[in-house]
Structure 1
C-alpha cells in the first residue's frame, strides 16, 4: 500500500542530509508538500538539491534555520506558518556526531550533540504539536539510531542523545494519542552515507560483518519506514520504535 499524503504539509529537519533528502522525496512522492530544513550555511548546497527536486516535479521547498536554537526555530516556524499554513507532519531528522571517549570529550562536544540531536525535538515539535491536536490529525517521526539502543564506544554524547529521542517519543505519544496525533521513532542502523564513509576502512569492514543482511542500509530504507508511519495505514501505531538496521541489533 502506497501512503497517500495529499493535502498534508510536512517539515523535515536535516532535510538536505543523506537520510533527510530521501525522506523529503518519499513524502513528496506520496503527495505531501514538503519543507526541508537546513542550516543557513548549507543553503548553497541545497540549491542543487532544489533543482533536482524541481526537475522531478516534487513539491519541496527549503527553509534555513538552526534547529538547536529555540528562539531561531520559533521565529522561523512562525514565518513558515504565515507563508505555508499548518504543518501536519514533523520528521526530526537533524543529527550530528562529535565522537570522543568520555575521558577526552569536551563540554562543547557534549553540548553540540545534545543540542542538535535532542534539544531540536523540543524546539521544532513544541510550537507545532498544539495545532496538530486542534486539527485532530498529525504525525511526528523522530530519527534515533541503533547506537541509541546498544551504545557505541566513543559516542556517549551521541548514544545518550539518541536514546533520549525515543524517551521523548514515548512520553509525547501518550500526551497526544487521543487527539489523532501519532508519535514514533525510526532507529536506523549503519546507512550508506558520508557519515559512514568517514569511518576508517578497517572499522567499516568490522561493522559490515556484524550486519546479518550483509549490507549497509540505504537512505531509501529509512524514508520508506518514515512514509509508512506518516500514513493512515499506521494510525494505530504510536510510541513505537521501528528498527531499520538489517538485523544488526534485535530486541524483544
Structure 2
C-alpha cells in the first residue's frame, strides 16, 4: 500500500537515512513530504534517486506563523499524511545551568515541541477518519535515568515530547493510530557539531559496545515502529543505545 509520510527535520542525517529506507521498497504512489530549513538542497540526491516521490518544503519551524502557513499548504496541496515523523532540534549545547540561554531554549521549544503540537493537530483528523496512522518522535537516552550534567535545556524539550507521545497514544489508540518515540544514545551525526570531541569520545568509550550510535543503528527501529506490523505498540519510548541506557 502506498503511504504519505510527513517528515519534519527530513534534511538531517537521520531524516535522509529514513527516507532512503522507506522508499527503497515503497510501492508506486508513495510520497514523502520533507521539511527542512534553509538546507533542502541536501535532499537533491534522494529526489534524483526517487523521482516524484519526495516533495521538499523549506520551513522555519521556530516561527509559529510559518508553521501555521505550512499546515495550511499541506492541507490544501498535499494528500493527507498517513505517517508523521518529527525529528528537528537545535544541536545540543553543554552549558552549566547558571549560563542557561533562555532565548535559545525558547527557540528550541518552538522547533521541537510547539511545532510538533501544530503538526499533530494538522494530521490527526484525517488519520482519525481513516482509522489508521503512525506518529513517531525522536527523544534521547538522556531521558532514561539520570541525564548527563549540563544538558537541562535539551532534556526538558525532549521530556515534553515524551509527555506529548504518551498523551496522544492513550487518546488516539482506539482509532488505530500509534504514537511512539525512539531514544538513541549519542549519535555521530552533524547534530554533534557543537559538542566537544572529548565528550563524544568519552561517550563512545563508556558505551558497552565501545562506540556511539549511527543513523544505520537507529533507522531500522524507526522503520519498525512506523510499519503495519507495529500496530499494537503505542506510547512507548524504544531505547537504541547499545546498552548504555536501559529502560
What is the TM-score with the length of structure 1 in the denominator? 0.89
2:47 corresponding residue in structure 1: 54
Counterpart in the other structure of 2:176: 180
Consecutive unaligned residues of structure 1, counting only runs of 5 or more, are 1-5
In structure 1, the residue matched to 2:78 is 84
Q: CA deviation at 1:75?
A: 1.8
Cα distance in structure 2, aligned partners of 1:18 and 1:139: 21
- Aligned-residue Cα RMSD (Å) equals 1.7
Partner of 2:158: 162
User: What SS does the aligned partner of 2:55 have?
Assistant: strand
Residue 70 and residue 116 in structure 1: after superposition, are their counterparts in 2 closer, same or farther (change >3 A)? same
Query: How much does 1:84 deviate?
Result: 2.0
Residue deviations 1:93-147, cap 9 Å, x none?
0111352211111221221222212222102111111111011110000111112
* Structure 2, unaligned runs of 5 or more: none
Q: Verify the 8 A CA contact 1:28 1:60 in the aligned structure 2.
A: no
CA–CA separation in structure 2 for the residues paired with 1:55 and 1:14: 19
For the structure 1 residues 151 and 75, does the alpha-carbon distance in structure 2 shift closer, same or farther, using more than 3 Å as the test?
same
| C-alpha distance in 1 between matches for 2:24 and 2:64 | 31
Aligned-partner Cα distance in 1 for 2:48–2:55: 13
Equivalent residues of 1:114, 1:157 under 8 A apart: no
SS of 2:88's partner is coil
Count how many residue pairs are aligned between Structure 1 and Structure 2.
Answer: 241
1:219 to 215, 223, 237: 215
Change in 2 beyond 3 A, CA 1:48/1:249: closer
Per the alignment, do residues 159 and 30 of structure 1 end up closer, same or farther by CA in structure 2, a change over 3 Å counting? farther
Output the CA distance in 2 between the equivalents of 1:63 and 1:248.
36
Q: Normalising by structure 2, what TM-score?
A: 0.91
> CA offset at residue 228 of structure 1?
0.8
Q: Distance in 2 between matches of 1:244 and 1:213?
A: 12
- Residue 249 of structure 1 corresponds to 245
Following the alignment from structure 2 to structure 1, what is the Cα–Cα distance between the partners of residues 62 and 104?
A: 14
Tell me, in whole angstroms, the C-alpha distance in 2 between the residues paired with 1:123 and 1:60. Answer: 22
Q: Does 59-68 or 223-232 show the bigger shift?
A: 59-68
